[in-house]
Amino acid sequence: MTVPVRSLQFADAREAADLAAFLGRLLRYDRAAAVRLQAGGGALAAFGRPPSFDVLAIRTARLAGVHDFDVTVSAGELLEALDTDGAAGLDALPAPVTGPPWTGVLPPRGGWQETPGLPGPPVLRTVLAEAVAEFRARDAALPEQLRTRTERDLIGRDIWSRTVGGTELPLRAVHAAQSLGFLRQAPDFPIALLTAGAWLRLRTPYGSIALRGAGGGLGTLAVTVRTA
């Protein structure tokens, strides 16, 4: 059975290609990944959770028509259904799936306010590179008897929970943004840190990373180093 949404077309072929790239990156971390899709007016928002980062990743796309639906589907099936060439859309969404717990706890749609103190992309990339190097050095220095997942998670928790600049944004959110293609190796581009209630949101032109602030994450924190 499929959701009764037919001829879902994107405003531009690049929108479909960017969504496909996002889904592909999610599937690198979890081959059984699910995504929650919310469409309203002429826009589609896709929410995913890469399990290594304890954050929500959000990719939006402009649609060619007006749609209104909210459904959770398999990321893999959605990727297969997407036409990133030709019509740049899909004939019907995949069948709904029973979403994991995180799909019921999404950030608010409105009420976001920009918060100062976030460094620009070049600084964030430098800080992230230094953190990755520190993780690898500390991991390599572990005695053989302590080279376990538990010890590595402790190192990761120490490094990736550090905040960025003068903000409450943990470094793991920046790591997630780069790993998912939201923080690209390109000239400086506009990014912002937004807050709404207990939520933090790192927004870039390529997607957003959202999480609860002040330690109110989405689950167990276990960030490991992955190549982007």
Instruction: Look up the CATH number of the domain holding residue 31.
Output: 3.10.150.10
Percent over 90 (pLDDT), the chain: 68
Total number of domains constituting the chain = 2
Q: Give me 169's structure tokens.
A: 């944004």
Q: Is the pLDDT of residue 187 over 80?
A: no
Average pLDDT value over all residues in the chain: 87
Same structural domain for residues 7 and 99?
Answer: yes
Answer yes or no: do 95 and 130 share one domain.
no
Integer Rg of the chain from CA? 18
Do 32 and 124 lie in one domain? The reply is no
Q: Which helix (H) or strand (E) holds 224?
A: none
Instruction: Let me know whether 16 and 38 are in one domain.
Output: yes
- Rounded to an integer, what distance in angstroms lies between the CA atom of residue 85 and that of residue 58? 23
pLDDT at 188 over 50: yes
Residues 135 and 184 in one domain: yes
Residues 153 and 78 both lie in one domain:
no
Residues 93 and 182 in one domain: no
For residue 87, what pLDDT is reported? 64
CB 163 within 8 A of CB 171: yes
Q: Which residues, 6+ apart, have CB-to-CB distance to 100 below 8 Å? A: 34, 49
Domain that holds residue 192: 113-212
> Is residue 225 in some structural domain?
no
Condensed to tens digits (0 to 9), the pLDDT of residues 123-182 reads 999 999 999 999 999 999 999 888 898 999 999 999 999 999 989 999 999 999 999 999
pTM of the model: 0.87
Residue 60 domain flag: yes
Residue pair 90/83 in contact (Cβ under 8 Å)? The answer is yes
* Whether 120 and 45 share a structural domain: no
Which residues partner with 200 through β-bridges? 195, 211
Q: 90 with 117, same domain?
A: no
Gap between the Cα atoms of 33 and 27, Å rounded: 6
Of the pLDDT bands very low, low, confident and very high (cuts 50, 70, 90), residue 224 is very low
